[in-house]
Amino acid sequence: MAIPNFLYKNNRVLLKELTKTDFKLRYQGSVLGYLWALLRPLMMFAILYVVFAKLLKIGGDIPHYPVYLLVGTTFWSFFTECTNQGIQAVVTRGDLIRKICFPKYIVVVSATLTAVINVLINLVVVFVFALIDGVTPSWTWLLVPILLFELYIFSLGISFLLGAINVKYRDITSIWDVLVQALFYAIPIIYPIAMVAQTSATAAKIILINPISQVIQDLRYTIVTKETITTWSYVGEENFFWKFIPIIIVIIMLIWGSWYFRKKSKKFAEEI
Amino acid sequence: METKNEPVVISVKHLHKSFKLPTERAWGLKQAIFNRLKGIKGYKEQKVLNGISFDIYKNEFVGIVGRNGSGKSTLLKTLAKIYFPEKGKLEINGTLIPFIELGVGFNMDLTGRENVYLNGALLGFSNKEMDAMYDEIVDFAELRPFMDQKLKNFSSGMQVRLAFSIAIRAKGDILLLDEVLAVGDAEFQKKCNDYFATIKGHQTVILVTHDMGNVKKYCSRAILIENGKIALDDEPQKVAEAYEKLWS
């Protein structure tokens, strides 16, 4: 099998069919159907908004805070959905892998693409919400796909690595559940990073070299307000190199993940 | 074997394959760490294919027989490139369509039509190629009025008929079939029998089966596998006799 595997027409057809099936079946048998793709993250947002913005009064001085929060929760949901589906993909599709020979990465990509479709639908809501809340449209909105792509690549790298380990050690799924819970608080989704920066600049910097934080802050910068603290503006005053840490982590994750997945995929059929 | 002047389509040389069978509960991370600390391997090596070599020529209809656990299915899965052999060489010329099981990837919540295209994509056919085959498949299965119904509303016999029709109508150079002959009702069985009779000598088929009747009827050659080795590679008649002698 040559390296530009995804360029094979047949692999693309299979990827398309599997993704279509996944998406079609996701909300089968529910009354509201695809609407749940929108409702679920909106409801999560509503809960967080009531608890954190209204009750705990966090983020009071940030302009358009509801949109700011919505951007955070939307892309965080994307990351968790993407990795959860991606890590599970090989095991869920075990029946296929045991009986047919095809490039195994396709099941991971198709599982994660469903999350991409969902986040694209949600992105429309984010923009509508932003306009209603009085955010001025900006040409920087056009940069959103690039940031989404970065987050996707990162999720894919994680899915490949952990998904491959998960075939043999199913503990990975549970470990990842806990890790995701911890990550939620290690990323400025519900609290503004400025709050952390006030107490400890170092802590804020550590938070910001996490690729997920970088992407979410950049998205807030491009969509909501230019007053957002981003990795680029906050990290690496002494050493310019630090600004590139998140993107380097993303690239390493993808290379490491796909290398490991490729190495292990030969044995998937026997080990599932 | 009279077909020796045809080109070789599958060439297998000294194939070895073994599985690591977990001895006790070696599942999960905890046990894996324990085993490593204690220096336990946690698995037993089981040799399944033990140096298998053969050539299959174009348009041969080869039956692979042997008792349960002799390694037939592992051999078939290795030919289908689902398993990777640890030693030996495998060369395949042409497209190979494996049917280790009928209806792989069939989804109950999709319509019959959607399932045909999904199954086709899994076998490596584009939508366009499937468009060309679709009518033939549906006609052979005799399920045209049902194709827009969800698969869960098909009877199990109908599901198998659809899956089987995809299997034999899929245009590939080499067909791999694992014990999938006896499906459907008597009429459909007859149709399948007729079909196999017509492709005999025109299509390369490798068939794993326990039914010596089928071996004698369709196969132009048969291979008896015993303990991961080829015990006999000869005319179907002789192999069928040898197979029946395994228990006497």
CA angle B51, B57, B60 (to 5 degrees): 105
Tens of pLDDT, residue by residue over B171-202, are 788 988 887 666 677 888 888 888 888 888 88
The arithmetic mean of pLDDT across residues A109-117, rounded, is 93
Please give the Cα distance from B163 to B143 (Å, whole number).
Answer: 11
pTM of the model: 0.88
State how far residue A107 is from chain B, nearest Cα, in angstroms: 11
* SS3 per residue for A156-186: HHHHHHHHHHHHHCCHHHHHHHHHHHHHHHH
Tens of pLDDT, residue by residue over B44-86, are 788 889 999 999 999 999 999 998 888 888 899 999 889 999 8
The arithmetic mean of pLDDT across residues B204-219, rounded, is 89
What are the chain B neighbours of A100 within 8 Å (beta carbons)? 80, 82, 98, 100, 104-105, 122-123
Give the model's pLDDT for residue B116: 93
pLDDT band (50, 70, 90) for residue A1 = very low
| Residue B1, C-beta contacts closer than 8 angstroms, at least 6 positions apart | B57, B60, B220, B221, B235
Q: Do B126 and A102 touch (CB under 8 A)?
A: no
State how far residue A196 is from chain B, nearest Cα, in angstroms: 36
Q: Give domain B8-94+173-245's CATH superfamily.
A: P-loop containing nucleotide triphosphate hydrolases (3.40.50.300)
Judged against a pLDDT cut of 50, whether residue A190 lies above it is answered with: yes
Q: Are strands B61-65 and B43-57 parallel, antiparallel or unpaired?
A: unpaired
Judged against a pLDDT cut of 80, whether residue B248 lies above it is answered with: no
CA angle B54, B222, B10 (to 5 degrees): 35
Q: What is the residue whose two structure tokens read 């919400």?
A: A129
Tens of pLDDT, residue by residue over A222-231, are 999 888 899 9
Tens of pLDDT, residue by residue over A205-257, are 999 999 999 999 999 999 998 888 999 888 888 788 889 999 999 999 999 99
Give the model's pLDDT for residue B171: 75
β-bridge partners, B240: none
Q: What is the residue whose two structure tokens read 């179907």?
A: B236
Give the model's pLDDT for residue A2: 37
Of B214, B229, B197, the C-alpha closest to B47 is B229
Q: Do A100 and B126 touch (CB under 8 A)?
A: no
Q: What is the distance, to the nearest Å, from the Cα of residue B38 to the centroid of all Cα atoms in its chain?
A: 41
Give the model's pLDDT for residue A62: 83
Cβ-Cβ pairs closer than 8 A, A with B, add up to 73
CA-based torsion, B234, B7, A5, B85: positive or negative: positive
Residue B241, Cβ neighbours under 10 Å: how many? 15
Tens of pLDDT, residue by residue over A11-65, are 888 899 999 888 888 877 777 778 888 888 788 888 888 888 888 887 767 888 8
Give the model's pLDDT for residue A116: 95
Tens of pLDDT, residue by residue over B132-157, are 999 999 998 899 999 999 999 999 88
Q: Do A99 and B104 touch (CB under 8 A)?
A: yes
Backbone φ, ψ for residue B47 (5° rounding) = -85, 120
Which residues of chain A are at the B interface, by a Cβ-Cβ cutoff of 8 Å? 9-10, 13-14, 16-18, 21, 24-25, 28-29, 95-102, 168-172, 266-267, 269-270
Please give the Cα distance from B231 to B81 (Å, whole number).
Answer: 23
The arithmetic mean of pLDDT across residues A121-147, rounded, is 91
What are the chain B neighbours of A9 within 8 Å (beta carbons)? 126
Rg (CA), chain A: 19
Give the start-to-end residue ranges of the domains of chain B: 8-94+173-245, 113-171
Which of A9, A10, A21 to substitute to test the interface with B, most B CBs within 10 Å? Answer: A21
pLDDT band (50, 70, 90) for residue A5 = low
State how far residue B93 is from chain A, nearest Cα, in angstroms: 15
